[in-house]
Amino acid sequence: MKIKSAKKLGAKFHYKWSTHQPVTNAMLEVLKPELVVEIGTGRYSSPGLITSNALKTIHIDNEPGWIDLVKKENAEIITDKNEFRIHDIIPLGIASLKVLPSELNPMQKESIDNYHTELAAEIKAMNYKSTMIFTDGFASCRKSSVDLLTSGVDSMIFHDAEKPAAYGYDNLNKDLYITHDEYLLKTAMSYTGFFVRKGIITFENLKVVMDKHVNVYVESLGISKDGIELIQMPVQQ
């Protein structure tokens, strides 16, 4: 796998792949989670989550080569509280990160769902006061992770939400809306969706926190705030 150094990539590239940062940083501030779970490691998400104030972080990826690279690039900041895991779905016949949930056969879907069901049980057993999850892994796993993990955590963040039909975000578990509110941060590039447990923060207060982190984000890239908007999503019927 030949991957360009992040330093050689332009601002437009950084913007495309890092649009979740205002959301993850806002949720870290609001929730102060003791446990952070990242499903799909990355150059623009892992460093901030690794160094967060969480008591424990778990970083899961579907591609061994990629997670090894992430660990290598972050070796100086990784500590004992940071755990890295592989969720290997290649034996299921899912060799591409672009395989969509709608393209899975029953056996593949059952295996992915079972993994997330077991992870949900593990998170519950850990009994941390507050948990945040960020999912941005293989496309085939994203809907399952949101459907099966959200109810047990305070916030579930999912990237690339501008493609709801492709990732299955337009047909999520309806029970999630009983306990959580859904929001969307729109940008000129990728969108980031996220659920927050009801009662944690009002939309008005969330907008204030989010705007602060959006300002920091756009200033760091030297880009405009044009096209960036936080909205509260309606309950899916």
Summarised one tens digit per residue, pLDDT across range 27-58 is 999 999 999 999 999 999 999 999 999 999 99
26 belongs to a structural domain: yes
Rounded distance between C-alpha atoms, residue 58 and residue 47, angstroms: 12
Entry pTM: 0.92
Tokens 């900041």 -> residue: 77
* Structural domain contains residue 129: yes
Residue 104, in any domain of the structure: yes
Residue 6 has pLDDT above 90, yes or no: no
pLDDT, one tens digit per residue, over 108-167 is 999 999 999 999 999 999 999 999 999 999 999 999 999 999 999 999 999 999 989 999
State the pLDDT at residue 3. 34
Query: How much is the mean pLDDT over the chain?
Result: 92
Give the C-alpha separation, 4 to 26, whole Å.
29
pLDDT digits (tens, 9 = 90+) for 171-212: 999 999 999 999 999 998 899 999 999 999 999 999 999 999
83 occurs within a structural domain: yes
Residue 96's pLDDT band (cuts 50, 70, 90) = confident
Q: Which amino acid is at 76?
A: E
Q: Is the pLDDT of residue 65 over 60?
A: yes
- Alpha carbon 87 to chain centroid, angstroms: 15
Q: Look at residue 97 and tell me whether its pLDDT is greater than 90.
A: no
19 falls within a domain: yes
In a domain, 237, yes or no: no
In angstroms, the CA 57 to CA 47 distance is 11
Give residue 235's pLDDT band: very low, low, confident or very high (50, 70, 90): confident
> Residue 162: which domain range?
6-232
Domain for residue 121, yes or no?
yes
In the chain, which residue ranges form alpha helices assigned H by DSSP? 11-18, 21-31, 46-50, 64-73, 106-126, 139-149, 164-167, 176-179, 203-221
Look up residue 5 and give its two tokens: 């150094």
pLDDT bracket for residue 15 (50, 70, 90):
low
User: For position 236, what pLDDT does the model report?
Assistant: 76
Give the domain CATH number at 219.
3.40.50.150
Q: Supply the pLDDT for residue 27.
A: 98
Number of domains in the chain: 1
Instruction: Look up tokens 């929001």; give the residue.
Output: 183
* Residue 1 forms part of a structural domain: no
Tell the residue number behind the tokens 């993850």, with chain if given.
24
Q: Give 221 or 214, the one with higher predicted confidence.
A: 214
The pLDDT, as a whole number, for residue 28 is 98
